[in-house]
Structure 1
Amino acid sequence: MSELNQETIVITPHDLPLHCSGPQNQAWNGHPRVFLPIQSNSSIECPYCGAVYKLEGEAGHH
């Protein structure tokens, strides 16, 4: 995890496909939008900003 002490962002299957463009930023000053390949009931960290996302539920076909 990144050195920044960030809270985990909890998402549900409704939020898929998961992408990040910097959760602390507006669209114009964030990092490039990156799609994150999260698995069911797991977590993933954005390689650009270190935001941690946790999927609660089944990823299904995403």
Structure 2
Amino acid sequence: MSQAIVELLAKDLNGNGGVYCPNPKAEMKLWSGHPKVYIDVAHEGEGKCPYCGTVYRLKAGEKVGHAH
């Protein structure tokens, strides 16, 4: 099985700098997916789902703003 890579814009991240998998941007069938898990993307610029291996990555040049 090939590893899916989903490029994200900063606006695609939630307030904590992450996304949930399964995610509609990954073009998965939600009914056949795995349990919903939080993937931190902002910290390293990408994160990988422990269930399906999908990689969520910030698009080149995207900056995540911090409210602090």
TM-score, normalising length from structure 2?
0.65
Runs of 4+ aligned structure 1 residues displaced above 6 Å come to none
Work out whether residues 10 and 54 of structure 1, in 8 Å CA contact, stay in contact via their aligned partners in 2. yes
2:32 corresponds to 1:29: yes
Work out whether residues 47 and 55 of structure 2, in 8 Å CA contact, stay in contact via their aligned partners in 1. yes
After TM superposition, list the pairs within 5 Å mapping 1:31-46 onto structure 2: 31-39=34-42, 42-46=45-49
The alpha-carbon deviation at position 27 of structure 1 amounts to: 1.6
Work out whether residues 43 and 53 of structure 1, in 8 Å CA contact, stay in contact via their aligned partners in 2. yes
- One-letter code aligned to 1:60: G
Provide the aligned C-alpha RMSD in A: 2.4
Q: Percent identity?
A: 32
Say which of 6, 19, 41 aligns to 1:9. Answer: 6
- One-letter code aligned to 2:40: P
The alpha-carbon deviation at position 25 of structure 1 amounts to: 3.2
- Please, which runs of 5 or more residues in structure 2 have no aligned partner? none
Q: 1:12 to 1:40 in 2, by over 3 A?
A: farther
Q: Deviations over 1:20-60 (max 9, x none)?
A: 11645312111111111112672211111100111121222
